[in-house]
Amino acid sequence: MSILTSETLSPRFTLSGNVMQTLYRVLAVALLCVALTMLSDVFLTTNNILNVLRQTALLFLMASGLTLVILTAGLDLSIGANVALSGCLAASVIKITGSPLLGIATGVGCGFIIGLANGVLVTALRIPSFIATYGMMWVLTGITYYYMAGETIHGFPPGFRQLGSGHLFGIPVPVYFMVLFLMIGVLFAQRTTWGQQIYAIGANPIAARLSGVPVERRLVLVYAVSGAMAGLASLIILARINSAQGDIGEELTLPAIAAVLVGGTSLFGGSGTVAGTLIGALLLTLVLNGMNLLQINSSWQPLATGIIILLAVWIDIRTRRIGE
């Protein structure tokens, strides 16, 4: 009999802490939007907003599964390389079989298996997630480079391409995915036992185990989910750029981690939300979009991202202190 009731697992201070954090962030997003509207007369146009949403969607999909991993006080550095291998394999399957469905299954499936492997490294082999996923990143990159041999796969069926560049009622398809997985993520994390157990593992793994939480199985689950989401993200990238190359997704790992952290999830585990990650992704994308619209030299972008991350976390820590 588990003593894990919802009261035990969501102590009130965490909930209100989360609410405060989310509020501050929504405020930040609002302020940023106001500022950008004043600075650039093309910011608030339909096209630009849809662009921002589409770019946010991709980042969010990468970061959503990652949120679960970080909630358990772990880390997944392999998601970028996962995107590359899953994407390249999916691309091959689509070209060879002509079937987008098979390709989608391959992409998500490959991502899932890679995630499982990460989970096994962390639980059965007891390797710290930081190192395990880092080593996995190198292994995946090597396999991808070997497989692709410097070539590009290009030209996918138009039906498949709708995934990335299509519109439904005027809204880009990736945005629908974003909303879907936002709802799934929030429901899973806050309303299912498994979700609560994940928070518990992050907050206090020993207590969780003593309370009967199957820690290893849940850990494998979060890494598998993170991997599957990377696989899904790779499909969207494929659909967007209509090609696959050995280095796709490489540049998304750190921004995805940044999105989770800026969204308020703590690296120490046990606190944070999937909704927060969405807002984090939105914040980062807005900043980059603003810099592009204002024609600021792209060399300044890493600088801006770095400062945002620091600011966001600093504000978090101050507000957490107020909440306690």
Partner 1 sequence: MSTTALPAQIARVPGVAIALIALCIVFVLTSPGFATSPNIANVLTQSTILLLLALPMTLIIMTEGLDLSIGAVLTFASIILAITAVSTGSLALAFAAALAVGLCFGFLNGALIAVFDIPPFITTLGTLGIAQGLSLVVTDGQSVVGIPRSIETIYSGTAAGIPLPIILAALAYAVTHALLYHTRFGAYVFALGGNREALKVAGISVRGMLIRVYVFGGLMAGFAALLMTARLNSAHPTAGIGMEFDAIAAIAVGGTSFERGNGWLLGTLLGVITVGVLRNGLNLLAIPSSVQVACVGALVIAALFIDGLRGEQ
Partner 2 sequence: MKYLVVGLTAALVALSSSAALAEGESIAVFTKNLTNPYFQAVRVGTETAAKKLGVNVIQYVPTKPDSIPEQLSQVEDVIVKKPNAIVFIPVDYKALVPAVEKINAAKIPVTNITDRSAAGDFVAFVGADDYSIGLAVGKRLLDAMGGKGNVIILEGVKGSLTSTNRVRGFNDALKEYPNVKLLASQPGNFQRLNALQVVENLMQSFPQIDGVLAANDPMAVGAIEALEAANRKALVVGINGSKEAVDLIKSGKLLASGDFNGFIQGCIGTEIAVRNLRKQSTPKEVMLKPIVVDKTNYAPYEVPVEQRTCPTLEQVLAN
- Does the footprint of partner 2 cover residue 37 (CB under 8 A)? no
- Residue 5: CB atoms within 10 A of its CB come to 10
Cα dihedral 101, 107, 112, 115 in deg (nearest 10): -170
CB 228 within 8 A of CB 115: yes
Question: Rounded to the nearest 10 degrees, what angle do helices 46-71 and 79-97 cross at?
Answer: 120
Asked if residue 131 binds partner 1 (CB under 8 A), the reply is yes
Binding residue (CB under 8 A) for partner 1 from 114, 232, 256, 258: 258
Whole-angstrom CA distances from 248 to 39, 147, 229, 259, 306 are: 33, 14, 15, 19, 22
Question: Which partner, partner 2, partner 1, none, binds residue 292 by CB below 5 to 8 Å per kind?
Answer: partner 2
78 vs 196, beta carbon nearer partner 1: 78
Between CA 142 and CA 133 the distance in angstroms is 14
Examine residue 301 and tell whether it contacts partner 1 (CB under 8 A).
yes
Instruction: With contacts defined by CB under 8 A, name the span among 19-27, 164-172, 229-237, 306-314 that binds partner 1.
Output: 306-314
Is 125 near partner 2 (CB under 8 A)? no
The one segment of 40-48, 82-90, 145-153, 202-210 that binds partner 1 by CB under 8 A: 145-153
What does 6 interact with, of partner 1, partner 2, none (CB < 5 to 8 A by kind)?
none
Count CB atoms within 10 A of the CB of residue 256.
32
Structure tokens at 189: 């994390």
How many helices and strands, by DSSP H and E, does the chain display? 14, 4
Contacts to partner 2 by CB under 8 A: 42, 45, 47-48, 51, 55, 142, 145, 148-152, 154-155, 165, 237, 240-243, 245-248, 289, 292-293, 295, 298-299
Residues that bind partner 1 (CB under 8 A): 121, 125-128, 130-132, 134-146, 149, 254, 257-258, 261, 266-268, 297, 299-307, 309-310, 313-314, 317
